[in-house]
Chains A and B, each alone.
Chain A
Amino acid sequence: MGRLSVDLCGITLDNPVIPASGTFGYGYEYAELYDINQLGTFSFKGTTREPRFGNPTPRIAECTAGMINAVGLQNPGVEKVISEELPKLKQCFHKPVMANISGFSVEDYAYTCQKLDAQEQVGWLEVNVSCPNVHGGGMSFGTDPKAAAEVTAAVKKVAHKPVIVKLSPNVTDIVAIAKACEDAGADGISLINTMLGMRIDLRTRKPIIANKMGGFSGPAIFPVAVRMVYQVANAVKIPVVGMGGVSKAEDVVEMMLAGATAVEVGAANLVNPYVCSQIIRDLPEVMDHYRINTLQEIIGGVNHG
């Protein structure tokens, strides 16, 4: 294993840097820009059982040090992802990919997970119980420990690959939900999904986003993410994938000290499409600066004094 490599649920990543779902499509837009095989892996666009157009537009609002999105899980549906997107991805990405899955019922989650679990290219299933932009689905499973555990158990029953449950920060007790997922058999936890946010146009006095509210992401939420990763990593034994506002190599190190085994990068990709490549390039120098020998050894290494 190299200096940057980490083990995520039994699969070695060359480095812990993972573009987050919804900011990296199915990979090939970015493959036009750089060799995406340098990534640890990436989490592809949230996939559902049926195709979805998503929410009306505008879906995007700018914020100080971040943005709100309310895309609403636009995706071609699991059948097309398997028949069209994954073959295209195979041409440009030769590592196991993280499949991100959303649903509207426990059966939906299990169905979509089973289909994607059977794909050779898929390394992990990232089960999103935390989408803030879809009514009656997504986040409702992630705000109740029982519902989150139910989805986790149903997915675990059909999956052979590691199941990472992606949690919402829009809850009062993140630890209770993480523990419920762990108890239900989750192999890992990823967090945080976006925070529910809203912007209003002063001129029209209307919400900027057609769906009124949306998911707030970007550097502004980084401290919240570090705090929640820290809380969850201290409460569970399974690996934690940290995300939320990460945009530079130092953020990756900080997230890992808080307890993350790997780190996802989301909104930053949308403003600097090369950001993940740059973070990977910068990591060795930042590690030298902070006298870090290997990244694996700093996971959860925050010094409590």
Chain B
Amino acid sequence: MKQGKFKIIENTPLTDCVYQMTLQGDTSAITAPGQFVNIQLDGLFLRRPISVCDVNEDKLTIIYKVVGRGTEQLSQMTEGELDVLTGLGNGYNLTKAGDSPVLLGGGVGVPPMYLLCKSLLAMEKKVTVILGFNTKSEIFYEKEFRALGADVIVTTVDGSYGTQGFVTDALKTLSYSYFYTCGPEPMLKAVYKTSVTSGQMSFEKRMGCGFGACMGCSCKTLTGYKRICKEGPVMEKEEILWED
């Protein structure tokens, strides 16, 4: 983990409520796809945790959805500096991918799949990406994933674009060596049930500190108590304990 000042390079809307922000600063603490950063905003007591979409030398890209006061405030910023904690969370373990991993991102669960996809392609894996959205107007980053060289399937729940249905409907039609996923919990549960291989999923929880000190985001797993922010957010399929 590192604390640093990051300069806002750009902040542009990708849809009517999802924004892409590029920041410049010391990214050296970011060591794996699936990690997150924690951003301080003026007038708000707690930082806002946001997943890392991409890292390129001193540039950091995050994609976030406006869901409350913090992200609303962030979406208004076009210049200046942000105080950011970087290198938080465990991130995805790439060594288990096999030859042909599948990546499933749902809504704002899509961004961490980007750096993961890039990393797996650099390891010469045959990567398939399934991007799930509710409807056509919510879709972002399809082009970017295709530009990386991955096979991309887009699903929409209402069928307004791509394959009609959920990411799991597309998953059923594929053969794959391993899966990686990030998205809302109902989607993670569906992937858990539908997947025929081992895999890793990234969880979200309301956090206090984001670096393991406050125990605000604890969860139970089959391998003991874990902090989503520290031993997570990525968990192995085999250790997940659904609490309800």
Q: Which residues of A pack against B, CB within 8 Å?
A: 22-25, 29-30, 32-33, 45, 53-54, 57-67, 69, 71, 74, 218-219, 267, 269-274
Tell me the nearest residue of chain A to B210, going by C-beta: A270
Interface residue range, chain B? 20 to 34
B227 to chain A, nearest CB (A): 9
Residues of A within 8 A of B215 (CB): 22, 25, 45, 54, 59, 71, 74
List the B residue with the shortest CB-CB distance to A55: B218
Contact A22 B1 (CB under 8 A): no
- Once A270-B208, A273-B85 are accepted as A-B contacts, the answer to whether A60 and B3 lie under 8 Å apart by CB is no
Judge whether B45 and A273 touch: CB under 8 Å.
no
B44 within 8 A of A: yes
Contact A25:B212 (CB < 8 A) given known A60-B46, A218-B45? yes
A83 to B187 Cα, complex, angstroms:
40
Within 8 A of A (CB), among B1-16: 1, 3
Contacts of B216 in A (CB 8 A): 57-60, 69, 71
Bound Cα distance A16, B177 (Å): 56
With beta carbons under 8 angstroms apart, the residue of A22, A61, A219 that contacts B214 is A22
Q: Which of B85, B207, B212 contacts A29 (CB 8 A)?
A: B212
User: Which residues of B are found within 8 Å of A32, using beta-carbon distances?
Assistant: 1
Given A57-B206, A67-B45; A274-B3 close (CB under 8 Å): yes
The 6 closest A-B pairs by CB, nearest first: A270-B209, A60-B216, A58-B206, A60-B208, A74-B215, A62-B46
Q: Is the CB–CB distance between A67 and B220 below 8 Å?
A: no
Q: Could you list 14 A-B pairs, sorted by A, with CB under 8 Å?
A: A23-B213, A23-B214, A25-B213, A29-B213, A30-B213, A54-B218, A57-B205, A58-B205, A58-B206, A58-B216, A60-B217, A71-B216, A270-B213, A271-B45
**Given contact pairs A62-B45, A67-B46, A271-B46, A57 touches B208 in the complex (Cβ within 8 A):** no
Residues of B within 8 A of A (CB): 1, 3, 40, 44-47, 85, 205-209, 211-220, 225, 230
Contact A64 B1 (CB under 8 A): no
A contact residues around B212 at 8 Å (CB): 25, 29
15 more CB-based (< 8 A) A-B contacts, given A54-B215, A62-B45, A67-B46: A23-B213, A57-B219, A58-B216, A59-B206, A59-B216, A59-B218, A60-B46, A62-B46, A64-B45, A69-B214, A71-B218, A267-B45, A272-B3, A272-B40, A273-B1
**Assembly CA distance A24 to B212 (angstroms):** 9
Instruction: Give the distance to chain A from B234, nearest Cβ to Cβ, in Å.
Output: 18
**A70 (CB) vs chain B CBs: closest residue:** B216
Number of A-B contacts defined by CB within 8 Å:
90
Q: How far is the CA of A274 from the CA of B213 in the complex (A)?
A: 13
B211 touches A29 (CB 8 A): yes
A24 contacts which chain B residues (CB < 8 A)?
A: 213
Q: Would you call B214 and A63 a contact (CB within 8 A)?
A: no
- In the bound complex, residues from chain A placing their C-beta under 8 Å from that of B219 are 57
Residues of A within 8 A of B40 (CB): 271-272
CA distance A219 to B46 in the complex (A): 12
A269-B218 contact in complex given A53-B225, A62-B45, C-beta closer than 8 Å: no
Q: Contact at A65–B45, with CB atoms within 8 Å?
A: yes
Indicate which residue in A33, A60, A62 contacts B44 across the interface (CB closer than 8 Å): A62
Are B225 and A74 touching (Cβ within 8 A)?
A: yes
Question: B220–A53 contact, CB under 8 A?
Answer: yes
Identity of the chain B residue whose Cβ is nearest the Cβ of A266 in the assembled complex = B214
User: A33–B1 contact, CB under 8 A?
Assistant: yes
Residues in chain B near residue A54, CB distance under 8 A: 215, 218
Interchain CB contact under 8 A, B45 and A63: yes
Give the chain B neighbours of A274 by CB distance below 8 A.
Answer: 3
| Cα distance A71–B212 in the bound complex, in angstroms | 13
Most central of B1, B3, B46 by chain A CB within 10 Å: B46
A272 to chain B, nearest CB (A): 8
Report A-chain residues with C-beta under 8 Å of the C-beta of B85: 273
Q: Compute how far the CA of A267 lies from the CA of B209 in the bound complex, rounded to whole angstroms.
A: 9
Output the nearest chain A residue to B217 by Cβ-Cβ distance.
A57
> Taking A60-B46, A67-B45 as contacts, is the C-beta distance between A273 and B211 under 8 angstroms?
yes
Nearest A residue to B214 by beta-carbon distance?
Answer: A270
**Using Cβ atoms and an 8 Å threshold, which residues of chain A touch B206?**
57-61
- Residues of the B chain whose Cβ atoms lie less than 8 Å from the Cβ of A61: 206
Complex contacts, B46 vs chain A, CB 8 Å: 60, 62, 67, 270-271
A138–chain B nearest beta-carbon distance, Å: 15
The answer on a CB contact under 8 Å between A269 and B45 is no
